[in-house]
Chain A
Amino acid sequence: MTPELIASLTIFALAVFLGFELISRVPTLLHTPLMSGTNAIHGIVLVGAMLIAGSADSTLEQVLAFVAVVFATVNVVGGFLVTDRMLHMFKGKRPEGPPEDEVP
């Protein structure tokens, strides 16, 4: 094992504990926003997609990397915006968007 791998595994192990510890006392009310917020955070994979897109040589890799960048960006941008809209509601204020359509 390389020293880099050991360092990575250490970080991984600590992050596991931290992840558990951080949300151990979350009220039910916040389950959905928290799921949505953490959903946006795994969009960090955009960083990986960018690294690949920034160095891909073959056409196949470029296509894969391009789609990965699009997907990951949707994950990040959409995830944070939807979470914000959800949490905005808790303030009791109106959403800024146009009034929502009726569902038949």
Chain B
Amino acid sequence: QLSHTPPQLRSPGNEGTTFPGKHCSEPAHQTSPFRVRRRAFRRGAREGLRCSSGISRWDLRARVGAARPGLTAEEQEAEKRRSVVVEKELELEFDLGNLLALDRNPPPAAGLRGAGPQREAQLLALARDNTQLLVAQLWELPAERAGGAGGPLVARLPEPTLRLPREKPPPRPKPPTRWEQFARLKGIRRRKRTSLVWDEQAKEWRRRWGYRRAGGDPARAWLAEVPEGADPEEDQFARLRREKRERVARNELNRLRNLARAHRAGAAIPAAPLHPTGHQSKEELSHVARVARVSTASLGRFQPRLPKEPAEPPSRSGGKKRRFEPLLGNLAAERSRQLQLLKDMGSKKPVLDITRAVNKQLRQEEAEAAAAKGKKQSQRGKRGRRQQRTGRSSKKSAARRHQQRPAGSGTGGSKRKKA
């Protein structure tokens, strides 16, 4: 009943004045209403006011407040704050970022056990007190007027402190591509290049790459060089187009390979922590079953077989053990195998595993390209390399070199390609 204050207590002159101090954290202002009341009572007694049993406490307090306009400032403040003060045995915990308050005081169980309306009233009183405390905390936050002086008062909330489970696990870092792995191994760093370069012919700054690029698009060039020792009848434009197409296709293939490798790596990681959620993938389950099977004293040798399990005892690593056929046994199968072998040897058509063949071919091509590149570099020798380095050092000369390349394509004996 302490938190309810009769309205006549509030003096109209003091309405609107602000209370400067902090609400809950300052012990100096935490004089309990009990104590304040007792003091007021004593003061009343000193003045000769008689407190008869017919006058209720509220009335007395109101009369005292009215009779003593000359209270000290501290007491006046205490008087005003009485309507917003709530006493609790244990302090509440607050998480203002979530607008959350935790009241650890055990609620009065006796009152809540009773009939409907009484319980509702109890709950309402409890909720009111807790809300009052939470609101007091919120009003202490640094506030400002949104949108100028006339706007609504807006309090800045702190970050929520209560930690709640995430919706999804934190994002994993992307696995590095093949090139990134290699670059890391060799210590190659990306260097920043400006996107605009000076085009000497157009006399303006143009993009280094893409639409309206500096030096013109090589795919739309009207002149193509015939390399030394090339077939003079060959269409050089067609050759350039074909090479470009091949480069694009190879790049796409590498990209897909990187994707596949990343996916495989991503699938391999969650196999380690097995979540007890009741839902695992097939691979995870089979792995666990395999491990469990061989985890006996006899390494799973005498373990009874499950209905669809293969006859051979599983190895710990999950691989297959090599087994030889018995020397004497199924003669018909042996005969058919030998005949098949002879047929394969005699036929003109080779037995071809396409995937393997394609991979072999690709690897061979890559090796050749790498060898040719190395050879070229060694041919160029020290001089060529030094030139390259000086060119890289300054932007201007790089731009100049860029300009010279298409112009001097007819004269230059060695065609240097940067791919």
**A and B interact:** no
Q: Which residues of B are in contact with A by a Cβ distance under 8 Å?
A: none
